[in-house]
Amino acid sequence: MAEFLPAFDLFVLTSRSEGVPTSILEAMACSVPVATTDVGAVREVVQEGRTGHVVASRNSRAVAQAIIELLNDPATRQGMGTDARSTAIERFDTNACAATHLAAYELACRRKNRKHHPDPAVTTLNRPSD
């Protein structure tokens, strides 16, 4: 896909259901702005008006309008593509994702340890009176 995506003017995904679509991340990494429906975690990836357009799911008119707007404005499309690539690299490259997963794992471990080794002050407050 890395050979073909840079030739696209824009990437369109009109899913009814998604998680975090890898195809959107791939397009963004190739400097391609995105027009997509607001499903799953798409809004966490595509920044409306900055890296593309996110429109209501199952709204073909809104999708068509987003596509037409981007196709008719090469300067905006190019700027969004540049921002899309920056976002993909900063937030979603392998190192960034690994760091995010490691931080989440470490947080989960700290919370688990607190649960098994509670603060003595809190334990004292929760004991019934003698």
Over range 78-94, report the average pLDDT: 94
Q: Evaluate whether 70 touches 35 at the Cβ level (below 8 Å).
A: yes
| Residues with Cβ within 8 Å of residue 28, at least 6 apart in sequence | 34, 45, 46, 51, 52, 84, 85, 87, 88, 92
pTM equals: 0.75
pLDDT digits (tens, 9 = 90+) for 55-77: 999 999 999 999 999 999 999 99
How does the average pLDDT of the chain come out, rounded? 88
Helix (H, G, I), strand (E, B) or coil at 48: strand
Superfamily name and number for 5-93: Glycogen Phosphorylase B; (3.40.50.2000)
Q: Give the residues across from 54 on adjacent strands.
A: 36
Residues contacting residue 4 through CB under 8 Å, at least 6 positions apart: none
Which residue has 């649960």 as its token pair?
Answer: 115
Give me the residue spans of the domains in the chain.
5-93
Q: Determine how many CB atoms are found less than 10 A away from the CB of residue 45.
A: 23
Residue 42 has pLDDT above 80, yes or no: yes
